[in-house]
């Protein structure tokens, strides 16, 4: 029988025919595509013709096109809709892919062809984009060990293969812990919870097969439960389960995996001639050096910690006023912070949430993209991988630009968090290939027949991930290597974090924040209170994030710790972590850092990008306002469509004319201290 994964897809937009694909198709398709890619690499390396950009670099760009298509589909499904079969395949594929990558970058004849082109680059009459692709290709080979020989070469390949296995195990252990825990609730346990939390708990209980409601480890449920439940014992139990993910002992415990990962990363860096893994990793980022990252984080840490400590004192008084002696605990913070927000800002999440319907927030994100970039979105009838998935065709002036896929609701088969990915990236080398982009979120699914309601943080997440999607949808380059989000890690968050600002534009909320039952717009007074409270509790939010970033940096900056948990505790003690605040991501569930190399030594990048996004939005405000056409054109030209065609700082300077300091970031978070050092 013909394997649909290896055929041309006669579907709208050539999207995957999900209804014709079974899990049994993946392994044979993977093996066939991998063999084809290996054969093509060997052909490129062994050809007698002298190296040229076309027969070497462009050939490499297209060598694994079929494998890339199969894997893009598979890994999207493995993250968004996993099952035991897909998890087993992921464990089998990961070491094979690491081995394949090592075979390419350590293929000496192939590297010699690339090196020949590099040395002759000034005589090759290459375009700027081709020069960039050549540079990145050679740099990638060198940083992957192409110059190593003998035992060092073999050891590096083994290290990378083992790291791939560990990253997969870490991810699957975390998913298992998240999927395996639930706190069943009696009707009495629902007392004090707003209707939307009760509805989410009942839906979660039904998904788990319980007779009644339940709290699960989905962020969209556990966070509001911690905000609103007056039952301190239940908050404590839920918080403990949330923070102990990956550290429960047994087969799903991630602590030993984290320790081995850090040790192997340090060995990898040493084999390549770097003092630390952080030095190796940051070499290609905007920050360049670990001390530059630490400087930025500490500039933000000091005022954030001061703000958090001041807030903790107020919340402790509220705790004592409730007749509870002792210290404010991490499972108390959100509950008392929510009560304080209602008292000081007259802002109640239960009152606010009906105005933040998922469908209306999607419309708002689309409408802003229409005003800024002329994009239009129309529902598309295409095969999907889950009934909850929605699809839109993206056009501009009637011309097809992209396909956008939205997968918004939490489920047991989906890993936690929110992310943007693609089933197909934009490129022009193999024709005018337009992207298929997916946003995956974990919002609470409503009961049947009820509208999906978001928290304001959920709505920000939706806009954030859509900013990533725009970076891919508006990409306009020739080579996939530099397409869309293929940029420095500490630059990739700029478009996503920048797009969050449009959610806070009053006219956007005035139009799209409409009540789920009455359809009435959000009352102006409520809108004013919402916008006035956007920096509320920012000390807490900043501290929990920066603490995680500092731990990540310290882990990778020196010798690998024998006991990462003990080292984590030391780092938090050194920086004076407030006792009532936990890290946003503790080591055993720090998937950004341990599920793969993506954000290792790079979790700081959200803050680095925030320095730019705050400054970039100021550029709109200094011009004609948030929808200024000239600034939108510059944003698309120099950031969104450019991909990785130039260094990130070059692109930003072309957009803004200068690099920013941290003033705008601190002001935006309500943490600005006029006497604090502010240069980045």
Residues 379 and 231 in one domain: no
Element (H, E) at 212: none
Total domains present in the chain:
3
For the chain, the straight-line distance linking the first and the last C-alpha, in angstroms and rounded, comes to 59
Helix then strand count (H, E) for the chain reads: 27, 7
Q: Is the pTM value of this prediction over 0.85?
A: yes
Last residue of a domain, one of 223, 245, 267: 245
Phi and psi torsions of 379, nearest 5°: -55, 140
Phi and psi torsions of 594, nearest 5°: -110, -10
Q: What is the DSSP string of 85-113?
A: HHHHHHHHHHHHHHHHHHHHHT-HHHHHH
Asked whether residue 466 is domain-assigned, the answer is yes
- Contact present, 672 and 666 (Cβ < 8 Å): yes
Residues 19 and 117 in one domain: yes
**Maximal C-alpha separation, the chain:** 83
Residues 80 and 142 in one domain: yes
- Sign for the CA dihedral angle at 516, 520, 523, 527 comes to positive
Asked whether residue 88 is domain-assigned, the answer is yes
Q: What CATH number should be reported for the domain holding residue 113?
A: 1.20.1050.40
Structural domain of 62: 4-147
Which pLDDT belongs to residue 558? 87
- Contact present, 55 and 47 (Cβ < 8 Å): yes
Q: What CATH number should be reported for the domain holding residue 407?
A: 1.10.1370.40
Show which residues are catalytic: 465
Residues 446 and 526 in one domain: yes
CA gap 586, 248 in Å, rounded? 13
Asked whether residue 360 is domain-assigned, the answer is yes
CA gap 677, 610 in Å, rounded? 17
Which of these, 445, 622, 432, 522, lies nearest to 14 by C-alpha position? Answer: 432
Which pLDDT belongs to residue 673? 57
The helix/strand/coil state of 573 is helix
Residues 370 and 511 in one domain: yes
Asked whether residue 454 is domain-assigned, the answer is yes
The helix/strand/coil state of 308 is helix
Last residue of a domain, one of 124, 147, 170: 147
Give the mean pLDDT per block of 10 residues along the chain (680 residues).
92 96 97 97 97 98 97 96 96 95 95 98 96 98 96 96 96 94 95 92 92 93 95 97 96 97 98 97 95 95 96 97 96 97 89 95 98 98 97 98 97 92 97 97 91 94 98 98 96 96 96 96 93 92 97 95 96 97 96 93 94 94 96 98 97 94 86 50
Asked whether residue 275 is domain-assigned, the answer is no
Residues 230 and 134 in one domain: no
Last residue of a domain, one of 230, 245, 260: 245
Element (H, E) at 423: strand 419-424
Residues 139 and 194 in one domain: no
Which pLDDT belongs to residue 674? 45
Residues 450 and 500 in one domain: yes
CA gap 630, 636 in Å, rounded? 10
CA gap 421, 465 in Å, rounded? 9
Asked whether residue 52 is domain-assigned, the answer is yes
Residues 392 and 474 in one domain: yes
Which of these, 92, 113, 121, 108, lies nearest to 47 by C-alpha position? Answer: 113
């Amino acid at each position: 029988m013909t394997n649909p994964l290896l055929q041309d897809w006669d579907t709208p937009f050539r999207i995957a025919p999900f209804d014709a694909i079974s899990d049994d198709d993946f392994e044979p398709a993977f093996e066939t595509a991998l063999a084809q890619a290996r054969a093509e690499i060997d052909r490129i390396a062994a050809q007698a013709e002298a190296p040229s950009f076309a027969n070497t670099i462009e050939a490499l760009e297209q060598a694994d096109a079929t494998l890339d298509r199969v894997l893009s589909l598979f890994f999207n499904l493995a993250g968004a809709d996993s099952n035991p079969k897909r998890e087993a395949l992921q464990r089998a594929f990961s070491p094979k892919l690491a081995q394949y990558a090592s075979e390419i970058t350590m293929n000496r004849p192939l590297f010699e062809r690339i090196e020949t082109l590099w040395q002759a680059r000034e005589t090759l009459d290459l375009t700027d984009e081709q020069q960039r692709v050549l540079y990145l290709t050679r740099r990638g080979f060198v940083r992957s060990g192409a110059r190593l020989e003998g035992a060092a070469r073999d050891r590096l390949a083994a290290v990378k293969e083992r790291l791939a296995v560990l990253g997969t195990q870490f991810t699957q252990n975390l998913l298992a812990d998240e999927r395996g825990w639930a706190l069943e609730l009696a009707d009495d346990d629902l007392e004090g919870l707003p209707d939307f939390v009760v509805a989410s708990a009942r839906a979660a209980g039904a998904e788990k097969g319980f007779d009644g409601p339940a709290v699960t480890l989905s962020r969209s449920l556990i966070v509001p439960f911690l905000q609103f439940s007056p039952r301190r014992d239940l908050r404590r139990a839920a918080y403990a389960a949330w923070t102990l993910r990956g550290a429960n002992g047994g087969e799903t415990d991630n602590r030993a995996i984290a320790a081995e990962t850090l040790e192997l990363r340090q060995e990898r860096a040493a084999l390549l001639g770097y003092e630390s893994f952080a030095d190796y990793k940051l070499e290609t980022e905007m920050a360049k050096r670990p001390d530059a990252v630490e400087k930025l984080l500490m500039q933000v840490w000091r005022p954030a910690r001061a703000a958090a400590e001041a807030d903790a004192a107020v919340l402790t008084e509220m705790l004592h006023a409730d007749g509870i002696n002792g210290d404010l605990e991490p499972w108390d913070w959100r509950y008392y912070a929510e009560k304080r927000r209602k008292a000081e800002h007259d802002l109640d999440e239960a009152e606010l949430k009906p105005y933040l319907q998922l469908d209306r927030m999607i419309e708002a994100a689309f409408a802003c993209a229409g005003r800024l970039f002329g994009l239009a979105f129309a529902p598309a009838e295409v095969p999907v991988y889950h009934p909850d998935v929605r699809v839109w065709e993206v056009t501009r002036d009637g011309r097809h630009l992209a396909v956008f896929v939205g997968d918004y609701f939490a489920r047991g088969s989906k890993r936690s968090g929110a992310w943007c990915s693609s089933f197909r990236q934009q490129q022009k080398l193999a024709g005018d290939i337009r992207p298929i982009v997916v946003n995956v979120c974990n919002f609470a699914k409503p009961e049947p027949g009820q509208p999906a309601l978001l928290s304001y943080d959920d709505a920000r997440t939706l806009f954030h991930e859509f900013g990533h999607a725009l970076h891919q949808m508006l990409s306009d380059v020739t080579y996939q290597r530099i397409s869309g989000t293929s940029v420095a890690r500490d630059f990739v968050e700029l478009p996503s974090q920048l797009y969050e600002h449009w959610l806070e534009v009053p006219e956007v909320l005035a139009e799209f924040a409409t009540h789920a039952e009455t359809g009435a717009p959000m009352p102006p007074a409520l809108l004013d209170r919402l916008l006035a409270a956007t920096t509320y509790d920012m000390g807490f939010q900043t501290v929990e994030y920066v603490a995680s970033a500092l731990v990540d940096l310290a882990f990778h900056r020196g010798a690998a710790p024998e006991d990462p948990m003990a080292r984590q505790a030391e780092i938090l003690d050194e920086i004076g972590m407030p006792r009532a605040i936990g890290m946003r991501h503790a080591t055993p569930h720090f998937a950004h850092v341990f599920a793969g190399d993506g954000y290792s030594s790079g979790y700081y990048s959200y803050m680095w990008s925030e320095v730019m996004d705050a400054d970039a939005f100021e550029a709109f405000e200094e011009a004609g306002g948030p929808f200024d056409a000239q600034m939108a054109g510059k944003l698309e030209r120099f950031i969104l469509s450019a991909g990785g065609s130039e260094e990130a700082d070059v692109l930003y300077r072309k957009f803004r004319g200068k690099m920013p300091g941290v003033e705008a970031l601190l002001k935006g978070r309500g943490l600005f201290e006029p006497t604090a050092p502010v240069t980045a």
